[in-house]
Amino acid sequence: MRHISATFTTLEHVNTFFSEKAVQDAVASAQSVLIQLFVGYQDDAWTISVVKAAQKHLPQAIIIGATSAGEIGNGRVSLESTVVSVTAFETASLHPLALEGIENAEYMAGQTIADTLQDIPDLQGILLLALPTRIHCAKVLEGIEARLPKTPVFGGGAADNLGCKHPNVFFHTRILTHGCIAVGLAGAELHIETYVSLGWQALGQQMTLTAVDGLTIISIDGHPALDIYHKYLGIHPDDEDIYLVEFPLLIERHGIQIARNPVSADTDGSVRLVADVYPDEKVRLGYLNIDLVLANTQNLLAQLETFAPEAIYLYSCICRRFTLQQDVELETYPLQALAPVAGFFTSGEFYKNGDHLQLLNSSQIVIALREGDSTVPSKQSPITPTDPTKDRYRFRHARITSRLLHFIATLSDELESANSKLLYLAEHDTLTGALNRRSLDTALTTELTRASRYGHPFALVMFDLDHFKAFNDHYGHAAGDIVLKSVAHTVRKTIRGSDLLFRFGGEEFLLLLPETATSGALKIAEKTRLAIARLSLSCAKTPLPKVTASFGVACYPQHDQDALALINAADTALYQSKAQGRNRVLAFAG
């Protein structure tokens, strides 16, 4: 395999490049040739002229490309240029497919790609270029994964920039504005490894996506989504620069932290993304930590050195270029030490993490390719990975900002932890860990509303430890506390995960059992009674006598439909249980 890339701004230089001896020699005996073009400005005529120049000199090549928000050639970053990447495969074969006009049929388009490629022998991966701002790319990925769950898929989304307001992808001279291009890479000798670099760190408190409509976040924590950016970052809805890429929303999904960047805002306060989010997902604002970026780059270099790549493709999010600015080459140029590097800054990246194919934002996807074994040493001239950082003051400002944001994030975590502890103390009984009376009022109101709306039953079970006052008087309050804590612990292990235990007062407890009628509540109460009766306890190595409890059961709507009346009904049943001899379960008899 040979990989050659170059950066251009004139057609004369393009023609010179394709006619160079190094390029012609590289493709002379190649089984297949892939040309990727990354174009940094909107000019269809320019794109077509570059494609035709490539076709003239390399007629056998498969040519694909995308508009970009920054171009990467030989590890260096340029703007409003065109990067040409030529990969000559010695044995591998290429299988291209272009689909246009697939909006609202993205999942089917993904299945079409998979169906077209799945029977190709030795399929090693799929390179995908698409338009996240025009189509639902996550659905395309879902369609591919449904048919090809084990095949790596990688690539990026065409981006817009100051000179390109209408991104596109292209296959030869065919320009697509609402579609995608896939290229299957196949060959027994072809090896492909995919890597992801993140480097984002959470900032501020955790929030919940409370309303989502497709790729639009309507509200966060019940407030218009843009209000969150206004509150924490001072971004006003009327600001011209509403891209918000410096601070993405971070989400934990499938074991990795992924980011989502709002790309526009509406007058109603909603924000639009280019990647999928879902209602009730937990999010936090994030920032790019320069130290994490550098550490990730060093780890990546170590992994890639073992793989010994012959070509490296980079698909990096525009927000990384936007945030790192002049220091963006800290994570692109060091890779050139191992193999020729080419790629572009995207509006979304495609990456398979384990068994999950995902559309990412704010990440850098690194694709390492090689034909044959890994014993061949790198053909590249040695480049010290830390070369760009020799000037100790070069990115000092970025590090100062990272330190400040780290301080804010740590402070936020401490405040959130303290608030969580205060909330726990406000809602729980400190001795037993059971929920308290204050929590009961809230939970019972919520359950009554839900049960009334959906016509479902629920039950209350009141239980009281038998002869507990006499027990305390004889064995002391320390022994009594051991009993109360042990009973609460045992009951929590006995009831279902959806059931709630409350300390009602003294030695009296209450269970709230959702979705439970009288017969089910009696069974749970009896199971709980037996678990308490089987307890073997001691205090200061002195065995304590067996503890029993009496139970009363009341159900909604059978016994009443008012919260206080239901509690009184359960309490009445409890006292009937005690009157009949204790250590038993009775339902309210009216």
pTM, two decimals, is: 0.69
* Residue scoring higher pLDDT (539 or 323): 539
Query: Is cis: bond before 557, omega within 30 of 0?
Result: yes
End-to-end CA distance of the chain: 85
Q: What pLDDT does residue 384 have?
A: 45
Q: Is the peptide bond before 59 cis (omega within 30 degrees of 0)?
A: no
CATH code of 200-288, in short, is 2.40.10
Averaged pLDDT, 281-296? 87
Name which residue leads in pLDDT, 527 or 253: 527
Task: State the sign of the Cα–Cα–Cα–Cα dihedral 120, 123, 129, 134.
Answer: positive
Give the per-residue pLDDT at 361. Answer: 86
The per-residue pLDDT for 401 is 64
Q: What per-residue confidence (pLDDT) applies to 235?
A: 72
Q: What is the percent of the chain with per-residue pLDDT over 70, rounded to a whole number?
A: 92
- pLDDT over 90 for what percent of the chain? 68
Separation between Cα atoms, residue 181 and residue 160, nearest integer Å: 18
State the residue for tokens 């079409």: 112
Average pLDDT over residues 438-449: 92
pLDDT at 65: 96
- Burial-class residue 420 by CB neighbours within 10 Å (0-12, 13-18, 19+): exposed
Q: So what's the pLDDT on residue 161?
A: 63
Q: Name which residue leads in pLDDT, 156 or 162.
A: 156
Which pLDDT score, from 0 to 100, does residue 47 have?
94
d(CA 184, CA 379): 26
Spatial separation of the C-alpha atoms in residues 576 and 18, rounded to whole Å: 95
Q: What is the mean pLDDT of the chain?
A: 89
Q: Are 81 and 109 in contact (CB under 8 A)?
A: no
Nearest to 244 by CA among 259, 228, 229: 229
Residue 406 has pLDDT above 80, yes or no: no
pLDDT number for residue 153: 96
At residue 244, the pLDDT reads 59
Task: Say which residue, 529 or 404, is predicted with more confidence.
Answer: 529
Minimum mean pLDDT range among 150-154, 199-203, 473-477: 199-203
Contact present, 233 and 287 (Cβ < 8 Å): no
With cut-offs at 50, 70 and 90, classify the pLDDT of residue 240: low
Question: What pLDDT band is residue 385 in, cutting at 50, 70 and 90?
Answer: very low
Checking if the pLDDT of 319 tops 50, the result is: yes
Interatomic CA distance for residues 112 and 450, integer angstroms: 44
CATH of region 437-587: 3.30.70.270
Per domain, the residue ranges of the chain are 2-196+291-390, 200-288, 437-587
Given a cut of 50, is residue 54 above it in pLDDT?
A: yes
Residues 399/289, Cβ–Cβ less than 8 Å: no
Give the mean pLDDT of 195-209: 87
Identify the band that residue 245 occupies on the pLDDT scale cut at 50, 70 and 90. Answer: low
